[in-house]
Amino acid sequence: MAYTALRLSGLLLTGGAALLGVAIVILSFKPVINQVLSPRISLLLLLASILLLLSLPGMYAKQADTAGWLGLAGYALLQAGIVLLIIIAAPPILYPSMREATGENPVIFALGIALTLGLLLTGIATIQAGVYSQWSGILLLAATAGFFFVFFVAEFLPAQAGQIGSAFFGILLALALAWMGLSIWSG
């Protein structure tokens, strides 16, 4: 039973990664800063978040013995950081008539830091553990740099920088997580 659950978590991780990548790339077609999300994009983000929250325990479990404390810290921060996607996705679904962008907020900022550190530590732990392909860990580290740029730096640059950064971040993160998901699913 545990083996089947672990394999299914790989399938969920792959699906969540694909949905997240698609949503982020679609979002990158417009300037990222203060963008109002459509209910459809919000639904994609919400579904991706649910699939990721359900599957990340399996991703961690597969490399828990070799990833050590670094892997555990990365996993915990990554789980907390995924909540950022839910907070961003929820208002357009719950209040479709509300046409305001999510403003700056201490909770969003803290969850952005958690997601950044979670991606960073999980990427390092993945490379060190050697359970998944090292390239998936490298892609995760590249996605970390992309998220850091988009979340913390791009607002001070021309809009195109944020759009390009978002697209690259979405693609890199989707590839890294889907690669790990396929690795789990294939056993």
Angle between helices 39-94 and 159-186 (to 10 degrees): 100
- The pLDDT, as a whole number, for residue 32 is 67
Domain that holds residue 85: 2-186
pLDDT at 34 over 80: no
The tokens of 155 are what?
A: 């607002």
pLDDT digits (tens, 9 = 90+) for 104-153: 789 999 999 999 999 999 999 999 999 999 999 999 999 999 999 998 89
Q: Which residue has the higher pLDDT, 90 or 53?
A: 53
Share of the chain above pLDDT 70, in %: 97
pLDDT by residue (tens digit) across 57-88? 999 999 999 999 999 999 999 999 999 999 99
| Structure letter (DSSP) for residue 35 | P
- The total number of structural domains in the chain stands at 1
Least confident interval from 45-54, 85-94, 130-139: 85-94
43: CB partners within 8 A, 6+ apart: 89, 93
Instruction: Check whether 97 has a pLDDT greater than 90.
Output: no
The one-letter code for the residue type at 14 is: T
Tell whether the model's pLDDT for residue 155 goes beyond 90.
no
126 exposed, middle or buried (CB, 10 Å; 0-12, 13-18, 19+)?
buried
Are 62 and 105 in contact by the 8 Å Cβ rule? The answer is: no
Residue 87 · residue 47 · CB < 8 Å: no
Total Cβ atoms within 10 A of residue 105: 11
